[in-house]
Structure 1
């Protein structure tokens, strides 16, 4: 079964406003794909469609081989999501936040404890398991949310602007962690961002602007030796 993410001709409107216009992309297992676009490009709308929060009138989404329209439960079960807005219960400990999510996934007892321990260890958060989420800094809260998203062993990990509000060092650390997860665990990663410095040359890159895909290739191929920041600005200005 295909463990990747496939989006084909996905479109969406808010009334007369076109939010997405026939967007297609594909991300293979073990690959980190940066969805790069300025604010208002349609990134959050795309994530809402991928996660079933919105229903697309046209196009198709396949998660690990499952069509989200015809088999939504199967598709969503293979997906881990970190939304832009924080979602931890600040009055619970890190472990309690993860245990609550594990219960929603039907995991309990030793099975849940083992997965929580492994997930926190992978994100360098094991020593903070008993701290309340409120006591964590922004970077550690994000790591806890990523660990939570990995509890049910998803094939596809979606992250919508996960470093918003973090300082440069925290952004770099979290970006490096998720790149490593893709490489080590064979995860299919779609990472939405408006920050060019979060993209590595070997990443798959999809540039989204005004609801349309302007370019799709590896970041190195898109840049062709030029600074990616300048290439990104030139493409979006030309399409404006």
Structure 2
């Protein structure tokens, strides 16, 4: 079976600056994969290429077996995205925001309302369905964005730094919701982050630094021999001389 997401040799430049340099990795179906990298590593650029906000300059991306360049509609149809920037309409209610997004996907109103009720119950915010977004906390708004990304029942969910700016409890709630979707629904997830405690030992991890993949593998394996993923990460991303070869685990 093809991977939920396959990125092969993707490179992207902004003028003279290389944002992505020959990036290749996969997200297996039904897996939680962490894309770990500091700010400026290229995570958001990669998401923009995968979602076709940026045209592909080099390499190949396929989603659930569909080539993004040759079959963009089929490739993107099963994709849900939570971008780092907040994009809900704060003057609309929770339900109005979700209904609008459902309409963009061609979902009939009756079916959309049923789907919205189910998703809001799943994320613990059913009682807030008629409240305006501006009355919600940051963590609650983030949960609504996850529900919005799931409105069309995608098979692959991309989340770009979804917990940035949130308190510890809200961060834990969002991580738990997404992991439950992977565990219970078989959803495939690519979770971009620079926060180490969001990554479990058994997670697959792709480490991105300065537009390049410097390591990939299970978190517990990458943590060896230091015993700490954070320590290993700092070693992986330490400044190297121009002649120092890069190692991909």
Give the alignment's TM-score, normalised by structure 1: 0.97
Q: How does 1:174-213 map to 2 (within 5 A)?
A: 174-213=174-213
Question: What are the ranges of 5 or more consecutive residues in structure 1 without an aligned counterpart?
Answer: none
Matched with 1:59 is 59
Q: Report the counterpart of residue 228 of structure 1 in structure 2.
A: 229
Moved over 3 A (4+): none
Q: Tell me by how many angstroms 1:90 deviates.
A: 0.3
Taking the aligned partners of 1:199 and 1:80, their CA distance within structure 2 comes to 21
Deviations 1:164-208 (A, max 9, x none): 111111111111111111111111100111111111111110000
Query: Displacement, 1:2?
Result: 3.2
TM-superposed deviation, 1:86:
0.3
Question: Which residue of the partner structure matches residue 11 of structure 1?
Answer: 11
Counterpart in the other structure of 1:22:
22
Which whole-Å CA distance do the structure 2 matches of 1:190 and 1:104 have between them? 23
SS of the residue corresponding to residue 234 of structure 1 reads helix
- The answer to whether the Cα contact below 8 Å between 1:95 and 1:116 also exists between their aligned partners in 2 is yes
Distance 1:185 1:39 in 2: 31
Query: Normalized against structure 2, the TM-score is what?
Result: 0.93
**Could you say what the CA RMSD is over the residues aligned between the two structures, in angstroms?**
1.2
Gapped runs of 5+ residues in structure 2? 242-249
Give the secondary structure class of the aligned counterpart of 2:34.
strand
What does the per-residue CA deviation read over 1:10-63, in whole Å, with 9 as the maximum and x for residues that have no partner? 000111111101101101121111100001100010000000000121111111
Match of 2:244 in 1: none
- Show the counterpart of 1:135: 135
